Chain A
Amino acid sequence: MDVRFINAFVGAIQHVLRTMCSFEVKIGKPFLKTDSNPCADVSGVIGFSGDATGSIVLDLSFDVASKLATAFAGVEITPEHEGFADAIGELCNMVAGNAKKEVGEGLNISISLPNVITGKDHSVAASRTTQHIVIPCRTDAGAFYVEVGMVMGKNSAASRQVAAAGANS
Chain B
Amino acid sequence: MKIMLVDDSRTIRNIQKNVLKQLGHTDIVEAADGVEALARFNEQVPDLMLIDWNMPNMDGLTLVQKIRQQNKIVPMIMVTTEAEKSRVIEAIKAGVNNYCVKPFTCESLGEKIEQTIAKVAASR
Q: CB within 8 Å of B: which residues of A?
A: 15-16, 19-20, 69, 72-75, 83, 86-87, 89-90, 93-94, 96-98, 100-101, 105-106, 111, 113
Contacts and interface: CB of A to CB of B under 8 A. Distances in A.
Contacts of A97: 80-83, 102
B11 A101 contact: no
30 contacts: A20-B103, A69-B11, A72-B11, A73-B11, A73-B15, A74-B14, A74-B15, A83-B10, A83-B11, A83-B14, A86-B9, A86-B10, A86-B11, A89-B9, A90-B11, A90-B12, A93-B54, A93-B81, A94-B81, A94-B102, A94-B103, A97-B80, A97-B81, A97-B82, A97-B83, A100-B81, A100-B84, A101-B83, A105-B84, A113-B56
A69 B11 CA distance: 9
Nearest to B86: A106
Interface residues of B, number: 22
A86 B32 CA distance: 12
Given A19-B104, A105-B84, A113-B54, 9 more contacts: A15-B103, A73-B11, A73-B15, A74-B14, A83-B11, A93-B54, A101-B83, A105-B85, A111-B81
Nearest to B106: A74
A98 B15 contact: no
A110 to B, nearest CB: 8
* Interface hub of B9, B55, B86, B104 (most chain A Cβ within 10 A): B9
A94 B9 CA distance: 12
Contacts of A111: 54, 81
A87 B11 CA distance: 6
B18 interface: yes
A122 to B, nearest CB: 23
